Chain A
């Protein structure tokens, strides 16, 4: 019978938060669940070391609390007096962490191995950041809008200039007809002397 102390060199503390994880569907933690835990851990050791000698009896659990936390150690199947060193246990757990979590319907946060940090899932990085795509779309729309407005303004200005030119032409045409009298006839004569308005003889008052 191996005795060990909790907080010992090769022991790990495990904490489960079943009610937090599952709420109304939480299961009761009992002897059978404990059995499953020891079996899963034995599986993890088998997978890591490749030795198929690990058994449920290799995993020893003690100090269970109502929190649902306990300490465990793994004994060497070849020599049950010695314990598997801490690093090996840690690596084994990390390797099969997902399988252990799934067995209990828990996650890294709700099934904690104190001292073994969880491997957090890296966020997916798409080849091109999404924001650049949206940026490109908006930039394209705005550029098209600006070019369209500038071209429309240009076309409108050309049209205005053309209508002004046409108006000038018409004005010139009209100017040639002034008051119904053709300018050519006016230019020809020097004007008509209207005798009613000339008083050459009367310029000097008579004495």
Chain B
């Protein structure tokens, strides 16, 4: 009996934790706080929660239902739902392959920073000295020690995407280690990762709680929290806020990759996934909000620190130029002094007026950063100014690692489960070998992200590999279930599993609300891409010590196009092939009938 021989989770808790570990990832920490900041602080919660209820929850529920009912990975599940729609499963696997290849590079960086935290002074706390030992390295002085450590010592980044450079040994070693850790967790099969997810799902929360306690007690943290929680409701009138909310919910829950289907396929037939879907989605959103609390207290601390350093520098400049006593200028009378000195000694003041930077706390708080910039530059800058910075650094990067590995387990499951469903492959290869070969392949391809231009290619994958394609896949999924497979049939399947039909709310959102929303997103992003002109990227200029905007060369744009097309084309391609196959079979059958009579 196929049902009995399929492996399963040891208990439902492992399934829930696996989903939480997969959904709660780096995006909760580095994307959501950024969106909050860009779209009016606390006010962003309104579109976010609305989108969660109207779009995120129903789609999450849908994918779990499919996985648990079909008891196969995404390829088998979609082929069983409708032979013409098998391409959806294949598209999911293709996107998951792209995702696994580039996502593990982030874990490699987290390992690198983690290993470098075991030093007396953190290496990104100070600039290295130039060869004559009198000044600091110019690139470091122009930017900052944290920027320098990230761009030069970690990535050794080249000045443009065309300049490939060689593979960086440190990065490559960390990437190999990351893949070995992933292999260690999954080599006994996805269902056996149930033990690992107890740790990867809970450890980040422990660190976040510790960071929250430390964060709110930091000097200046309240500035950041006040900034976050004063809602600027006028920002909600901007449609971009709603679009970003809808997109963030979709990607944050990890829909469309096939991971949820894979996890749910190991459930018992009568597992109550409805409750679990609601629980996991709510935990995911609550974690995003919790992470923003931590991030904004850190922002507040960093902004206040920079603001006060700016004030100190201006004060020093004034007392040095005008030879005033040391404690004559205080932050509160700084402006008075400036105007007084400007009036009394205009000539002398003119010589230094170019060096006087206007110190403004608001503008420090306004610098919104997301992604790797937030995680590896902004946070490490804040950490180096905290007491006991090595401890905080180790905690933080371990947390990043757990978040990243938890998500990786889901991505890898999305690929491995369909592979192990294939009878051909299971007959010829043991599961350890199959999983090992997949990890080896992804690791080797991933080494290209450890070259000097690797971070630019990483950005391409991050921005294009799993964004547009996932929207397309989720749209096709929901239309297939509602209109091709049939909502009535789906309802009956769910009733068989959990004993009652889904509430009318779910049915409305599945059949009308979510498809309309996703089509809207789709149209918006297509229009945005077409009207945006040549896509550009931020390249690091070592002479200026900051990033400059450059256009992607044609072959990079071709790669972008390839990423988008290879996954989306599976759907129509498989439909076409199935159609041709069916036609051939029909022709053969009619031939047999005619020859028999």
Q: Identify the A interface with B (CB < 8 A).
A: 15, 17-20, 65-69, 117-120, 122-123, 130-132, 134-135, 138-139, 142-143, 145-146, 149-150, 153
Given contacts A15-B320, A150-B432, contact A123 B184 (CB under 8 A): no
Pairwise interchain contact A134-B118, C-beta atoms closer than 8 A? yes
CB distance from B102 to the nearest CB of A (A): 21
CA distance A119 to B136 in the complex (A): 11
Q: Identify the B interface with A (CB < 8 A).
A: 111-112, 114-116, 118-119, 121, 126, 128-129, 133-136, 170, 173-174, 177, 180-181, 183-184, 187-188, 319-320, 323-327, 432
Which residues of the partner chain A approach B112 to less than 8 Å between Cβ atoms?
A: 131
CA distance A69 to B325 in the complex (A): 10
Assuming A135-B115, A146-B180, A146-B184, what are 20 further A-B pairs, CB within 8 angstroms? A19-B326, A66-B323, A66-B325, A67-B320, A67-B325, A69-B323, A117-B134, A117-B135, A122-B129, A122-B133, A123-B129, A134-B114, A134-B115, A135-B173, A135-B177, A139-B177, A143-B180, A146-B183, A149-B184, A153-B188
Pairwise interchain contact B134-A150, C-beta atoms closer than 8 A? no
Pairwise interchain contact B129-A139, C-beta atoms closer than 8 A? no
CA distance A15 to B133 in the complex (A): 22
CA distance A68 to B180 in the complex (A): 61
Residue of A68, A120, A122, A143 with most chain B CB atoms under a 10 A cut-off: A120
Tell me the total A-B contact number using a CB cutoff of 8 A.
78
CA distance A122 to B325 in the complex (A): 33
Given contacts A142-B180, A146-B183, A146-B184, contact A120 B129 (CB under 8 A): yes
Pairwise interchain contact A145-B184, C-beta atoms closer than 8 A? yes
Which residues of the partner chain A approach B115 to less than 8 Å between Cβ atoms?
A: 130-132, 134-135, 138
Q: List 21 A-B contacts (CB under 8 A).
A: A15-B320, A17-B326, A20-B326, A66-B323, A66-B324, A67-B320, A67-B325, A68-B325, A118-B134, A122-B133, A123-B128, A130-B116, A130-B118, A131-B115, A131-B119, A135-B173, A135-B174, A138-B111, A142-B177, A150-B432, A153-B187
CA distance A123 to B129 in the complex (A): 8
Pairwise interchain contact B134-A119, C-beta atoms closer than 8 A? yes
**Cβ-closest chain A residue relative to B128:** A123
In the complex, the 10 A-B pairs of residues with the closest C-beta atoms, listed nearest first = A65-B323, A131-B115, A67-B323, A19-B326, A117-B134, A66-B325, A134-B115, A142-B180, A145-B184, A131-B116
CB distance from B542 to the nearest CB of A (A): 21
CA distance A23 to B180 in the complex (A): 53
Which residues of the partner chain A approach B114 to less than 8 Å between Cβ atoms?
A: 134
CB distance from A52 to the nearest CB of B (A): 30
Interface residues of A, dominant DSSP: helix
Pairwise interchain contact B134-A67, C-beta atoms closer than 8 A? no
**Cβ-closest chain A residue relative to B188:** A149
Which residues of the partner chain B approach A143 to less than 8 Å between Cβ atoms?
A: 180
Which residues of the partner chain B approach A67 to less than 8 Å between Cβ atoms?
A: 319-320, 323-326
Which residues of the partner chain B approach A135 to less than 8 Å between Cβ atoms?
A: 111, 115, 173-174, 177
Pairwise interchain contact B187-A68, C-beta atoms closer than 8 A? no
Which residues of the partner chain A approach B116 to less than 8 Å between Cβ atoms?
A: 130-131
Pairwise interchain contact A142-B184, C-beta atoms closer than 8 A? yes
Which residues of the partner chain B approach A18 to less than 8 Å between Cβ atoms?
A: 326
CB distance from A204 to the nearest CB of B (A): 37
CA distance A149 to B327 in the complex (A): 66
Which residues of the partner chain B approach A149 to less than 8 Å between Cβ atoms?
A: 184, 187-188
CA distance A135 to B173 in the complex (A): 9
Pairwise interchain contact B133-A68, C-beta atoms closer than 8 A? no
CB distance from A65 to the nearest CB of B (A): 4
Which residues of the partner chain A approach B126 to less than 8 Å between Cβ atoms?
A: 123
CA distance A76 to B119 in the complex (A): 49
Which residues of the partner chain B approach A69 to less than 8 Å between Cβ atoms?
A: 320, 323
Pairwise interchain contact A138-B325, C-beta atoms closer than 8 A? no
Which residues of the partner chain A approach B326 to less than 8 Å between Cβ atoms?
A: 17-20, 67-68
**Cβ-closest chain B residue relative to A134:** B115
Which residues of the partner chain A approach B324 to less than 8 Å between Cβ atoms?
A: 66-67
**Cβ-closest chain B residue relative to A137:** B115
CA distance A134 to B390 in the complex (A): 14
Given contacts A66-B325, A122-B133, A146-B187, contact A153 B180 (CB under 8 A): no
**Cβ-closest chain A residue relative to B135:** A117
Which residues of the partner chain B approach A139 to less than 8 Å between Cβ atoms?
A: 177, 180
CA distance A132 to B169 in the complex (A): 11
Pairwise interchain contact B187-A150, C-beta atoms closer than 8 A? yes
